[in-house]
């Protein structure tokens, strides 16, 4: 159940009466901060999975817009927002670990997977796909995009390549931690022409900033740990992706600076999935053009 512990000031307002945010225990090591937007007679359930450096607040406005028809779930990954940050000896922050967290969340939240769409971006997408390899019925549809399913460094932003490159990893992690404020201010529109820049709400920025150093591990540390296992889990996925039977739709920002659209083209071709390239859109389609995300979700139920 949702925790009765009050959420931080500013989380809820009167018009958000259907929206609840609280802690949800997965196991003895992990409690996830989650958001649920309730609907008494939903047509289905949507689960949103965020990327770096986001928190569940990336999905708040989209969730409220969809709440008329669906029940909506989102949570902070371990290491992000206000979710737990167990020691790496107990939880490695690898995509495989996140896949297990996702599986446990769906089970414990008692979500009907036959009426579930998972929308996953960036670091959230590979865990969803790894889980789908083992449980093809984990959702009736997966929508994924702007992530790295395969080990293709040439398609990735230079600093992301360095996170995968041994000794350079510690240096990049230190830079990420040092530049927190710059990252939260500029990551979302970096590489886009000025006329394509978009605003990220102060509420969302404040939540990312507050959650960055929540506990003993920073968000950048968790991101770095994820990358330390990334190649292994990418290779496993690519070697087994012929087993992927869950319906997948690929949505990608054509102007993605961090992970080139060619990664999306290759993945969609190998997966036999429909691909939508979004003209003029960068790495964060759900923030730059939330209506597109809403439309994709609705289309997944028809």
pLDDT tens-digit map of 225-280: 999 999 999 999 999 999 999 999 999 999 999 999 999 999 999 999 999 999 99
Q: How far apart are CA 175 and CA 167, in angstroms?
A: 14
pTM of the model as a whole = 0.94
Q: Is the pLDDT of residue 13 over 70?
A: no
What per-residue confidence (pLDDT) applies to 17?
53
Tokens of 246: 């869950």
Q: Is the pLDDT of residue 6 over 50?
A: no
pLDDT one-digit tens code per residue, 64-107: 999 999 999 999 999 999 999 999 999 999 999 999 999 999 99
pLDDT one-digit tens code per residue, 168-195: 888 999 999 999 999 999 999 999 999 9
Domain residue spans of the chain: 14-300
Angle, helix 230-240 to helix 95-108, in steps of 10 degrees: 70
pLDDT one-digit tens code per residue, 37-72: 999 999 999 999 999 999 999 999 999 999 999 999
Q: How far apart are CA 22 and CA 265, in angstroms?
A: 38
Q: Is the pLDDT of residue 162 over 80?
A: yes
- DSSP one-letter string for 186-237: HTTTTTS-GGG-----HHHHHHHHHHHTSSSS-HHHHHHHHHHTHHHHHHHH
Q: Is the pLDDT of residue 3 over 80?
A: no
> 14-300: which CATH topology?
Rossmann fold (3.40.50)
């Amino acid at each position: 159940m949702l925790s009765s512990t009050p959420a931080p000031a500013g989380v809820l307002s009167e018009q958000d009466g259907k929206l609840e945010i609280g802690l949800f225990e997965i196991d003895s090591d992990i409690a996830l901060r989650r958001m649920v937007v309730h609907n008494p007679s939903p047509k289905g359930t949507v689960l949103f999975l965020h990327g770096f450096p986001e928190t569940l607040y990336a999905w708040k406005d989209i969730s409220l817009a969809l709440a008329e028809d669906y029940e909506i779930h989102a949570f902070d990954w371990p290491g992000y927002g206000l979710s737990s940050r167990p020691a790496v000896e107990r939880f490695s922050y690898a995509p495989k670990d996140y896949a297990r967290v996702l599986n446990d969340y769906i089970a414990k939240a008692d979500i009907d997977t036959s009426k579930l769409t998972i929308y996953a971006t960036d670091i959230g997408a590979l865990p969803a796909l790894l889980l789908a390899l083992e449980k093809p019925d984990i959702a009736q549809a997966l929508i994924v995009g702007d992530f790295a399913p395969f080990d293709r460094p040439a398609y990735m932003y230079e600093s992301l390549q360095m996170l995968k490159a041994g000794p350079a990893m510690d240096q990049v992690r230190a830079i990420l931690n040092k530049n927190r404020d710059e990252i939260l201010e500029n990551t979302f529109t970096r590489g886009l022409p000025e006329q394509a820049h978009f605003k990220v709400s102060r509420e969302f920025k404040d939540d990312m900033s507050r959650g960055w150093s929540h506990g003993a591990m920073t968000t950048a540390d968790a991101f770095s740990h994820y990358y330390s296992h990334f190649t292994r889990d990418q290779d496993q996925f690519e070697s087994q992706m012929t087993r992927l039977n869950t319906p997948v739709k690929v949505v990608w920002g054509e102007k993605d600076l961090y992970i080139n659209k060619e990664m999306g083209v290759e993945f969609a071709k190998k997966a036999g999935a429909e691909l939508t390239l979004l003209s003029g859109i960068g790495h964060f389609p759900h923030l730059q053009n939330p209506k597109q995300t809403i439309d994709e979700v609705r289309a997944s139920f028809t």
